Amino acid sequence: MTNQDLLAIAKEFGTPVYVYDVNSIREQYEKLTSSFSKNTRFFYAAKALTNINILKYVEKLGASLDCVSINEVKLGLKAGFSNDRILFTPNCVDLAEIEEAMSLNVHINIDNISILEQFGNKFGGSYPIFVRINPHIFAGGNYKISTGHIDSKFGISIHQLRHIERVMKSTNINVEGLHMHTGSEIKDPDVFLQGLEIMFELAEHFPNLKYLDMGSGFKVPYQDGDIETDVKSLGKKVNAAIKKHEETSGKKFQLWFEPGKFLVSKSGHFLVKSNVIKQTTATVFVGVNSGFNHLIRPMFYDSYHIIENLSNPKGPERIYTVVGNICETDTFAWDRKINEVREGDVIVFRNAGAYGFEMSSNFNSRLKPAEVMFLDGKAHLIRKRDEFEDLLKNQIEVL
């Protein structure tokens, strides 16, 4: 996909608009499948981007699906994933949502003692489950996306192993899988090996174990100089560790990973229009026709997105602060070097495929943007832009 393709899409569909180049998703998926053993499965983390067309594309690639809500499970089934290719890993839900997932016959992952006890007392070993462990490994590019540290709400502490065993013994729960996820944007790939060694130690306490799920957190580059997780090197190390454990223990497990951002982030391009150029005593602002209602990652995670002027790529470079049109401080980037921006220019945010549209809202009663899939050299509208009536769709007037 070229910048000219993006400009043509902006002209045809307007801005703001999210554009996904699915060739990038395929390339990222093939990096993974070629790097790990055939006894490894990859579950796309749906929370990164759930447009039904993206889900269908990922399903056709051969991936499975990681879901964190019952509605993601239903979307996955609608997209064509068979129930044995779906893992449901909710957090802080009540037993009713777990039971609904059981009725859909998907893999279920339980991440706290309370629900584990409720489940065991009601269902015993009639439905095999996964247990999510908190390994107390601090990893991830940002505290907000680190999920395996000691104060995380995710998972059951490894120090509560005896409690898990008591529940297993008293209720006959059948644990077929162990799961851990330490965070996103993991810069040190050895974190996965550290987690795998913990998994091997825990596995001895679960006689019916079939699966070890390492979650994900593979790093993707957001700016020049950033690293991407070397999955080929990691794959070799993981494959060697698995082989060694099989030889010493005589036990064989299927290994699972849950890539989300790694698959779809690079595919996404968010196109906006420059509304105003505003100069104060110290700063030149580019005000665009979007805000954190469409792309909240820079404000929420302090994340970095490359920003380029597609309309004037050869203009002289100037220093701008890029802001949105929301009645809050919604700064996308401070003091960023960009080719000269004029009012009406089309601006692109790179690496916007993961947690972009997915975290969008109607804050300030602004409308959500359109989504476009770029497939086989053609642009396809896969979500129409919100209209004013969408703001009122579920409201009930009583006055």
The one-character DSSP state at 146 is: B
d(CA 47, CA 71): 11
CB atoms within 10 A of CB 130: 24
- How many other CB atoms sit within 10 Å of the CB of residue 94? 11
How many whole angstroms separate alpha carbon 76 and alpha carbon 351?
24
Q: Does residue 327 have an active-site annotation?
A: yes
Beta bridge partners of 276: 287
* Residue 369 structure tokens: 């943007």
CA distance 309 to 278: 17
* Number of alpha carbons in the 13 Å side-chain half-sphere of residue 206: 26
C-alpha span between 205 and 164 (Å, rounded): 10
Residue 355 annotated as binding?
A: yes
User: Whats the size of the chain, residue-wise?
Assistant: 399
Work out the widest C-alpha separation in the chain, in whole angstroms.
73
Q: Does 320 show up as a binding residue in the annotation?
A: no
Structure-token match 């569909």, residue found: 13
> What is the chain's percent helix, strand, coil content, to nearest 5?
35, 25, 40
The stretches of 265-331 forming alpha helices (DSSP H) are: 297-300
Grouping H, G, I as helix, E, B as strand and the rest as coil, residue 24 is helix
| C-alpha span between 83 and 95 (Å, rounded) | 19
Cβ–Cβ under 8 Å, residues 278 and 270: no
The answer on whether 328 is annotated among ligand-binding residues is: yes
Q: Which tokens belong to 292?
A: 């954190």
- Alpha-carbon torsion 164, 132, 176, 115, what sign? positive
Select which of 8, 150, 227, 327 is catalytic.
327
Give binding residues as ranges.
Answer: 217, 297, 301, 328, 355
Give binding residues for substrate as ranges.
Answer: 297, 301, 328, 355
Annotated catalytic sites, by residue? 327
